[in-house]
Structure 1
Amino acid sequence: MNERFSASGLMNPFFPDEVTFGEKGVTFKVRKLFKSNDNFVFYSDISGVEIESGVLFSTIRIIPRMRPEIIINNFTKGDAKKVKELILAKVQA
């Protein structure tokens, strides 16, 4: 299972955030102008997923058990919902 989702290019065309699903966990790549942060979280370490939807785009908030939350921005509503469903399916398995 190596699915990958990228944020919309409308809000940040050169540095979109990414979510990549692996066998044991999820990698969240949060990009800024001169840096990026890669956060790998095991499925078993995720305690929750929240989606905050705006008019056009959604923000996904990942809540790991022993770490600060991870916030990824500018995903389409459909992609945000799919990311949440995939994470929750793996967390509950």
Structure 2
Amino acid sequence: MNERFSASTLKNPLMPDEVIFSEKGVTFKERKVLSSTENFVFYNDIAGVEIDSGMFFSTIRIKARAREQEIVIENFAKSDARKIKELILERARH
């Protein structure tokens, strides 16, 4: 059940963003040079998922009901971004 997706290492070879699915929700790990942020969101608390696709990579934007700011994770392969969105929306409906 636990699925994990990592962003491309081309743009950030040492610290790629990650998305980790669990039974109750999803964890988003946003990694920067000097810091990192880890957000866990229950599937039922996800209000929307948007994908911004560039030429090679996609950015995923998660809108959670209880948060003012959206969660942004970057540099995912387009196919991984679509799969992440599909899994989130599928699990949020149940």
Q: State the TM-score bracket (shorter-chain normalisation).
A: over 0.9
Q: What is the alpha-carbon distance in structure 2 between the residues aligned to residue 86 and residue 30 of structure 1?
A: 19
1:72 alignment partner in structure 2: 73
* 1:15 alignment partner, SS class: coil
C-alpha displacement at 1:17, in angstroms?
0.1
* 1:85 alignment partner, SS class: helix
Unaligned runs of 5+ in 2: none
Question: Normalised by the size of structure 1, how large is the TM-score?
Answer: 0.98
Which letter does structure 2 place at the counterpart of 1:20? I
1:56 alignment partner in structure 2: 56
Q: CA RMSD in A?
A: 0.5
Measured against aligned partners, the alpha-carbon deviations of 1:1-56 in whole angstroms (never above 9, x if no partner) come to 10000000001000100000001000000001111100000001001000000000
Q: What is the alpha-carbon distance in structure 2 between the residues aligned to residue 76 and residue 32 of structure 1?
A: 19
What count of residue pairs does the alignment treat as equivalent?
93
Q: Does 1:84 align with 2:89?
A: no
Q: What is the alpha-carbon distance in structure 2 between the residues aligned to residue 36 and residue 2 of structure 1?
A: 21
Q: What is the alpha-carbon distance in structure 2 between the residues aligned to residue 34 and residue 59 of structure 1?
A: 20
Which aligned pairs between 1:1-93 and structure 2 lie closer than 5 A? Answer: 1-67=1-67, 68-93=69-94
The alignment-based identity, stated in percent, is: 66
Question: Normalised by the size of structure 2, how large is the TM-score?
Answer: 0.97
